[in-house]
C-alpha cells in the first residue's frame, strides 16, 4: 500500500535467525504517548488527526483491507507530526463487494477496549469495524481514556456489547454527536459504513467542518494542546484568555526552544491539563491569575508526586519479592 498515512514497507530480507522489514521511520513515536503526556487533545487537534485517520481508513478499504486493530498505539507520528497507521499483523484482505460490507473476516483479533461488538457477538469483523475503532479513538483523544474500560477484559466486553459508556462533563457536543454515530451496535447503521457513500457522509459530518480533505497531508499539524481539565473547577472563566502569550512563563522548561510539537507551558502529565492560562488580551500578565494557576498546579502536583512514590515503592517491593523467590528456588536445587 502506498499512502502518506500508512507505514510503507520498502524491503524484506532474512538471515538464519531473523526476518527483517525495512519500514518508514516515524520519528515521534506513538500517538498514545502524546495522549498520555497531555491528558487529552483540544478540538482542533482532534479534528486534524481524526481526519487523517479517516483518510487512511478510506484508502485501506479501497484496497480491500480492514485493519481490525486500530488504536492509538498503532498510529505513529512522523517528523511532521502526521499520522502513519502501522501494525498490519491482524489486518485482513477482503473480497470485493458492491457495498463493501458483505464480506467479513471470521477470526477473533484486536484489543479489548477497541473491539467492535460484531466481533464479540458474531466472531466476525467487517470494514465498519474500523469505524467503531475510530469512534473509540476520537473519544479518547478528547476525554483522555477509552470509552469502554472494565476491571478486566470480560467486563470491558460486556460494556461494549451493551453499549455502556458515558461522556465526561464538557465533552464538545459536535464531537459527542460524531462518536454516538460511530459507536453503533449495528455495523450497517454505523456512520462510515456502506462503501464510498458512507465515507462521504462521514466526511460531511459537522465535526469535520472546515477540513481541507484534498490537502490534509500537506498542511502543517496543529500545535498540540489539551482539551479540558480533569476537574471542571480548574477551567474557571476568570482563568481563561484568548492568548497563549504566557504559557512560556508558566512552563517548567521555559526558553527560546519552540521546536516541540507540544505547546510551551505544558509539562508531562500536567495534573489539570492546562487549557487556560494567566494573561489578558493585551499580553500583560495578571499577577492574581498567575498566582491562582500556580497554586492549583502546586496543589495538584503534590498528589501526583505522592502517587508516583507509592507506585514506585510497590514496584520495588514486588521486584525484591520476586528475587527472593528465585533465590529460594535455586537454593533448593
Contacts (Cβ under 8 Å, ≥6 apart) of 27: 77, 78, 79
Please name the helix (run of DSSP H) or strand (run of DSSP E) that holds residue 173, with its range, or none: helix 173-182
Positive/negative CA dihedral, 146, 150, 154, 159: negative
12 φ, ψ (degrees, to nearest 5)? -135, 145
What the block records as the C-alpha cell of 318 is 514486588
Please classify residue 278 by burial: count the beta carbons closer than 10 Å to its beta carbon, then call 0-12 exposed, 13-18 middle and 19+ buried: buried
Q: Nearest to residue 185, comparing CAs of 148, 210, 211?
A: 148
Number of H helices, E strands in the chain: 9, 6
Choice among 15, 24, 69, 99 that is catalytic: 69
Contacts (Cβ under 8 Å, ≥6 apart) of 14: 20
Q: How many whole angstroms separate alpha carbon 151 and alpha carbon 153? A: 7
User: Is position 69 annotated as part of the catalytic site?
Assistant: yes
Q: How many whole angstroms separate alpha carbon 197 and alpha carbon 214? A: 17
3-state secondary structure of 21: strand
Contacts (Cβ under 8 Å, ≥6 apart) of 282: none
Which residues are tagged catalytic? 69
Amino acid at each position: 500500500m502506498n499512502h502518506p498515512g500508512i507505514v510503507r514497507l520498502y524491503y524484506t530480507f532474512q538471515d538464519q535467525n531473523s526476518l527483517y522489514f525495512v519500514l518508514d521511520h516515524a520519528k515521534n513515536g506513538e500517538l498514545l504517548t502524546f495522549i498520555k503526556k497531555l491528558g487529552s487533545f483540544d478540538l482542533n487537534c482532534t479534528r486534524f488527526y481524526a481526519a487523517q485517520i479517516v483518510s487512511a481508513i478510506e484508502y485501506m478499504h479501497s484496497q480491500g483491507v480492514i485493519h481490525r486493530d486500530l488504536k492509538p498505539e498503532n498510529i505513529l507520528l512522523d517528523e511532521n507530526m502526521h499520522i502513519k497507521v502501522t501494525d498490519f499483523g491482524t489486518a485482513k484482505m477482503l473480497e470485493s463487494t458492491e457495498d463493501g460490507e458483505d464480506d467479513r473476516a471470521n477470526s477473533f483479533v484486536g484489543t479489548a477496549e477497541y473491539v467492535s461488538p460484531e466481533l464479540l457477538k458474531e466472531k466476525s469483523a467487517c470494514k465498519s469495524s474500523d469505524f467503531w475503532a475510530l469512534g473509540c479513538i476520537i473519544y479518547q483523544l478528547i476525554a483522555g481514556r477509552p470509552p469502554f474500560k472494565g476491571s478486566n477484559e470480560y467486563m470491558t466486553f460486556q460494556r461494549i456489547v451493551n453499549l455502556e459508556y458515558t461522556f465526561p462533563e464538557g465533552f464538545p457536543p459536535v464531537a459527542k454527536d460524531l462518536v454516538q454515530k460511530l459507536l453503533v451496535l449495528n455495523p450497517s447503521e454505523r456512520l462510515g459504513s456502506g462503501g464510498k457513500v458512507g465515507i462521504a457522509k462521514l466526511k460531511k459530518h459537522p465535526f469535520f467542518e472546515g477540513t481541507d480533505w484534498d490537502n490534509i497531508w500537506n498542511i502543517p499539524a496543529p500545535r498540540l494542546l489539551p482539551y479540558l481539565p480533569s476537574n471542571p473547577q480548574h477551567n474557571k472563566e476568570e482563568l481563561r484568555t484568548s492568548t497563549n502569550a504566557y504559557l512560556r512563563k508558566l512552563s517548567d522548561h521555559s526558553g527560546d526552544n519552540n521546536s516541540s510539537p507540544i505547546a510551551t507551558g505544558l509539562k508531562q502529565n500536567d495534573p489539570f491539563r492546562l487549557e487556560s492560562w494567566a494573561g489578558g488580551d493585551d499580553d500583560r500578565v495578571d499577577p492574581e491569575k498567575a498566582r491562582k494557576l500556580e497554586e492549583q498546579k502546586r496543589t495538584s502536583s503534590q498528589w501526583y508526586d505522592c502517587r508516583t512514590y507509592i507506585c514506585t515503592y510497590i514496584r520495588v517491593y514486588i521486584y525484591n519479592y520476586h528475587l527472593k523467590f528465585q533465590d529460594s528456588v535455586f537454593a533448593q536445587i
